[in-house]
Amino acid sequence: MAVLAASLTLVVHAAALGHLPMLRLRLLGWLGAISYPLYLLHENIGWVLMNQLLARGMPIDVVVALALLFSLALAHLITQWVERPAMAAIRRRWAQRQQGHTASPRSV
């Protein structure tokens, strides 16, 4: 366990110093961007889709590939059309609230 912890510490340190250029791959950035919706969706959507396709006699490798592609596509759509617009709206609202709470000079 100590070896694993030390290894992970070294990897994180190397990444923080920019010594792992593979972490700058667009694919990894995209996967990071869709990771939360993918986490929320993949199990439930994947099992339902896989059960439906397997019941229709499709080969397991095709079923797994289709479930993976569908989950990735759905997570991407949710990121683009729900998560990012919602976060932008929250940021705008937060900025407006902060402007309304700025201190003004008191008159004496």
What's the rounded mean pLDDT across residues 21-30?
85
pTM, rounded to two decimals: 0.72
Sorting pLDDT into bands at 50, 70 and 90, what band is 8?
confident
Burial class (CB in 10 A: 0-12, 13-18, 19+), 59: exposed
What's the rounded mean pLDDT across residues 54-82?
97
- The CA distances from residue 68 to 34, 35, 95, in Å, are 13, 13, 38
Q: Which residue has the tokens 């991407």?
A: 76
Sorting pLDDT into bands at 50, 70 and 90, what band is 11?
confident
